Structure 1
Amino acid sequence: MISIFVASAFIWFNFQTKVTPAFNEEEQVREIHMVTGEFSTETDEGKEIEAYRFDPGTIFLQKGEKVNLKIFGVNGDEHAFTIEGTDIKGKIQKGKETVIPLQFDKPGTYRLICITHKDIENNGPMIAYIVVK
């Protein structure tokens, strides 16, 4: 009888679906979603003007918090970017999602700056603010 129980337990444990947790509860990573957008209009003189932006324009993080900032490119073919005060830089492309892992050790306001649209002459400034408390 005991041998049947041991054999049954062996078979049951060895043929169970191996479940791997999607994340370690201690290592949770928050996702924040952002998009690139564009406003365009025409002046009374017939000149077309446009401005690009990140939406939302401000996000809030806690010091030490792990975040995946997911930016989806909607308007504009490509947005080269940098995050001021860090070594983070990259590109956001139209129709694609760019994932930027973030974790700040110092409180402050960090600017996510689109280099392509850095000033009014280039249909900007296209800046989002990352506020770390």
Structure 2
Amino acid sequence: MTKIYVWSRKKLYATSGAAILLLAAVVFAVKPTVEAFEQIDKQVEERVIHMVTGEFKTTTKDGKVIEAYRWDPGTIVVKEGDQVTLNIWGVNGNEHPFYIEGMDVKGVVTKGNETTVSFHASQTGIYRLICQTHADRAHHGPMIGYIVVEPR
């Protein structure tokens, strides 16, 4: 014998309505919001970059000594919004007073010591790390590094 269930219109609407409310509650409880994705996308990464001061030195055939000072690595790439710390170890050269063009960052690296500076990479672009002692060829430079801030 087969049983036939007959639902009244009122019972059908009530059950359907309850099912829709339950489904909506589950979807909204589990589904991440657009704001949540935006917050994840804007999360700041803390970057610690280790650098050294370096020197290239040679003698030409006529006995002239040629020197050039460099930052190593010479180019650093970070993302917009990153909090960046540069730990710069003074290997060659007695003193390297420097600044980062376009930022309020400056310091001095001395031989045998580590100098630490931090900044927030708030805007995309290419920023030059410039040693004031070795600003041009006449002073064994230019000793310029590049900080590339890419869009996130």
TM-score tier after normalising by the smaller chain length: 0.7 to 0.9
Normalising by structure 1, we get a TM-score of 0.78
Structure 2 unmatched runs, 5+: 1-42
SS of 1:121's equivalent in the other structure is helix
Match of 1:74 in 2: 91
- The root-mean-square deviation of aligned C-alpha atoms, in Å, is 1.2
Runs of 4+ in structure 1 over 3 Å off? none
Normalising by structure 2, we get a TM-score of 0.68
Q: 1:65 aligns with which of 66, 82, 87?
A: 82
Q: Note the 1:1-133 alignment, pairs <5 A.
A: 29-133=46-150
Counterpart Cα distance in 1 of 2:147 and 2:46: 16
Residues 11-54 of structure 1: CA deviation (Å, up to 9, x unaligned): xxxxxxxxxxxxxxx77622100000001000111011100000
More helix by share: 2
| Change in 2 beyond 3 A, CA 1:28/1:86 | closer
Which structure's CA Rg is the greater one? 2
Aligned length: 108
Letter in 2 for 1:53: R
Structure 1 unmatched runs, 5+: 1-25
Q: State the Cα distance separating 1:89 from its structure 2 match.
A: 1.2
Identity %: 56
Residues 78-133 of structure 1: CA deviation (Å, up to 9, x unaligned): 00101001121110011111111021211000000000000000000000000001
Q: Does the CA contact (< 8 Å) of 2:69 and 2:141 recur in 1?
A: yes
Letter in 1 for 2:83: K
